[in-house]
Structure 1
Amino acid sequence: MPRLQAPAPSAEQLQVMFSAAARAPDHGQLMPYRFIVFNQHQLPVLAQFFGQAAQQQQLNPLEVERAQQLPLRAPLVIVALAHYQQHDKVPQWEQLASAACATSLLQQAAFAQGLGAIWRTGWLTESTLLKQQLKLHDNEAIIGFMYVGTPAVDTPTKPDKDWSGKVQFWGS
């Protein structure tokens, strides 16, 4: 959903979204994820963080301005984090998979309620400055930014993909 507008999800809609995220596959019941929500009034702070991260990357002024505009494309932005925990039976890669599933379920729950949502990544997920500004712990990583709001246009339908080369039936 590339174009989003107000209104943002209601408190009840967010509750459904986070309840869905909590149903992600989770070996060890670690819930190895965390979400930081920026509502419409807090988005200028996130915009400032993005701009400062772009300046630290020594991007040109146009790219810095573009980075500052990114959070303003939706009335709500959720920063999705993997929150790794030491566990003998649940390796870090499995915890990352759980966090990604939780984020995907968050998005699907938004769609199920008639909201629009788009999960974005990019260089900002790796920004050390942004991680500091968001007060992340050493055991956390940004896995994406979920932009959520009301669809401004009809939801585009993606074409079907040929999955036949991705599936093998054993013994065939």
Structure 2
Amino acid sequence: MLLAIHRLGLGAVWRTGEPCYHPIMNEAFELRSQDKMLGFIYLGVPDVDELQGKREDFHSKTVWIGEEE
């Protein structure tokens, strides 16, 4: 879901924590007592230009066991 949201040009983040598990959440979302909120997805329009990733080549982080140098 997050990948689809980002593909549409929106920003999104998944958040969870104690508030999700509070009984008030079940009441607010009309959930049954055995149901639990797992988290929230916050959506918005990014206020920054597209970020560029900084990735190293995988060889710099890989050790092949049994391969001679």
Q: Which has the higher contact order (CA 8 A, sep 6+)?
A: 1
**Bigger helix fraction:** 1
State the structure with more CA Rg: 2
Unpaired segments of 5 or more residues in structure 1?
A: 1-105, 165-172
What's 1:135 paired with? 30
Unpaired segments of 5 or more residues in structure 2?
A: 63-69
RMSD in angstroms over aligned alpha carbons? 2.5
**Bigger strand fraction:** 1
Distance 1:121 1:115 in 2: 20
Number of aligned positions between the proteins: 58
Change (3 A) 1:157 1:140: farther
Distance 2:33 2:53 in 1: 37
Letter in 2 for 1:109: A
Runs of 4+ more than 6 Å apart: none
* Identity, % of aligned positions: 29
Query: TM-score, normalising length from structure 1?
Result: 0.29
What's 1:122 paired with? 17
Query: TM-score, normalising length from structure 2?
Result: 0.63
- 1:155 is displaced (CA, Å) by 4.5
